Amino acid sequence: MFTGAGRVLATADVSFDPEFVTGDIDEDVQRIEQALVDVDGRVELVYIEPEL
């Protein structure tokens, strides 16, 4: 979703293996967020909802 000129909000529900520990999921979410920003510099806001 565009939130203004040159600004993008990215949202996602992401499924994780229920056996993952919380710390691993947090790290994975941070990597996903950074990858989105790296791919498109307009991405300024990222919301990821982890689903177990």
Write the DSSP assignment of the chain as a string of letters.
-EEETTEEEEEEEEE--TTS-HHHHHHHHHHHHHHHHHH-TTEEEEEEEEE-
Q: Domain residues of the chain, as ranges? A: 2-51
User: Minimal CA–CA distance to 35: which of 18, 23, 20, 48?
Assistant: 48
Q: pLDDT tens digits, residue range 9-50? A: 999 999 988 888 888 888 999 999 999 999 998 998 999 998
Using CA atoms, how far apart are residues 18 and 29, in angstroms rounded to an integer? 15
Q: What is the pTM of this model?
A: 0.76
